[in-house]
Structure 1
Amino acid sequence: MADKKSQNQVSTSQCPTNNPFHDAGATSLLNKTGEPPFKLSLNLNKVEFKCTDDKKPIPVHLKVFNPTNETVCYKVRCTSAEIFRVQPPLGFVKAQETITIIIWYQNQDNKKEALSNKLHYFAIYHTHSDGRTARELWANSKVEGVRRLPATFIMAN
């Protein structure tokens, strides 16, 4: 059975092994058959955008903690590059460190049409780091963990 469970890199903080960072846990989206379980910790189990009528982009801060003793390379993909941005979409998380990734919803005129017909989500993948750049790693590396975070939209009054 499947495991259920930024401008640029905005901040990095050194975290001791007994880090109080708690993983938000499983999401409503299961891994696909054969996908490896996620080994990092996230502060969110869904990405919730609080939409306003002013059409300004809406940021959500996703914190990623690496509890392992090795640097890992991550990649974040989204269901629509037209309505979302991820900053930075790929990079590294050193052992026992936390990074922040900013996920943006563009909040443009087409939001009702774009949001009503599709389940949107963000997939966070990770693999080991071997000294290559993140782009080089993801050109031919095997995914060692994945978690999908559903996107939800709350319309402000």
Structure 2
Amino acid sequence: MADKKSINVSAIGTSAGASIAPPQSHSNFIDAGTTSLLNKAGEPAFKLSLNTSKIEFKCTDDRKPASVFVKMHNPTSETVSFKVRCTSAEIFRVQPPLGFVKPNETVSIVIWYQNQDKRDEMFKSHYFAFYHTRSDGRTARELWTNSKAEGVRRIPASFISAK
């Protein structure tokens, strides 16, 4: 499992109480590979590495939010900007939703499932889309306003009982 305390300092925002640690350098980072969710026609292949090919939320009966930590590694020689989107902003949160990854560095991203009384949402097919594009000096928010993704990977989400 990913280190729960590391959040990229060059990413946009942090959650209250989260520790901030510098990005880590991982020359031997192992990519989990493609998932069951293929890219749409014309979408570019994902050139970064992720440590998981599925996101599983362990849900409890007490309705406490469940979180998963994902590590993203940039094996390229350029700084890239990333963006993470989800199928439902009503039940999921991503922190940070966008930011930068320098060459040969790894960032940690935390994804929360609100775990509220929305049982019908658990039976829908949910996923998280990870996008990246070259950095050009603008802020991540400015960059993603009108940039096209240079790489895409969708990671399916599932819900399991913590019992």
Could you state the TM-score of these two structures normalised by the residue count of structure 1?
Answer: 0.89
**Aligned residue number for residue 67 of structure 1:** 75
Q: Quick check: 2:58–2:160 contact (8 Å CA) kept in 1? A: yes
1:126 aligns with 2:132: yes
Helix, strand or coil at the partner of 1:136? helix
Q: Which residue of 1 aligns with 2:62?
A: 54
Take 1:24 and 1:76, find their aligned partners in 2: how far apart are those partners?
17
Question: Where has structure 1 moved over 6 Å in runs of 4 or more?
Answer: none
Unaligned runs of 5+ in 2: 1-6, 8-12
Instruction: Look up the SS of the partner of 2:31 in the other structure.
Output: coil
Residues 24 and 107 of structure 2 are in contact (CA less than 8 Å); yes or no, is this contact kept in structure 1? Answer: no
Counterparts of 1:61 and 1:156, CA distance in 2: 17
For residues 106 and 138 of structure 2, what CA distance do their matches in structure 1 show? 21
Residue deviations 1:82-102, cap 9 Å, x none? 100000000000110000000
Deviates more, 1:37-46 or 1:6-15: 6-15
SS in 1 for 2:128: strand
Alpha-carbon shift at residue 8 of structure 1 (Å)? 2.2
| Ranges in structure 1 where 5+ consecutive residues have no aligned partner | 1-5
Residue 23 of structure 2: SS of its match in structure 1? strand
The aligned length equals 148
Cα RMSD of the aligned pairs, angstroms, is 1.5
* 2:4 matched residue in structure 1: none
The amino acid of 1:113's aligned partner reads D
2:88 is the counterpart of 1:80: yes
1:113 to 110, 113, 120: 120
Q: What amino acid is the match of 1:39?
A: K
For the Cα contact (< 8 Å) 1:128–1:144, is it kept in 2?
yes
Q: 1:11 to 1:34 in 2, by over 3 A?
A: farther
> Alpha-carbon deviation of 1:115?
1.4
| Aligned positions of 1:40-51 closer than 5 A | 40-51=48-59
CA distance in 1, matches of 2:146, 2:67: 31
Q: Supply the distance in 2 between the matched residues of 1:11 and 1:105 (Cα, whole angstroms).
A: 23
Q: Aligned ranges for residues 15-34 of structure 1 at < 5 Å?
A: 15=25, 19-34=27-42
Closer, same or farther: CA 89–78 of 1 in aligned 2, 3 Å: same
CA contact (8 A) 1:120 1:151 kept: yes
Closer, same or farther: CA 44–11 of 1 in aligned 2, 3 Å: farther
Query: What is the CA distance between 1:156 and its match in structure 2?
Result: 2.6
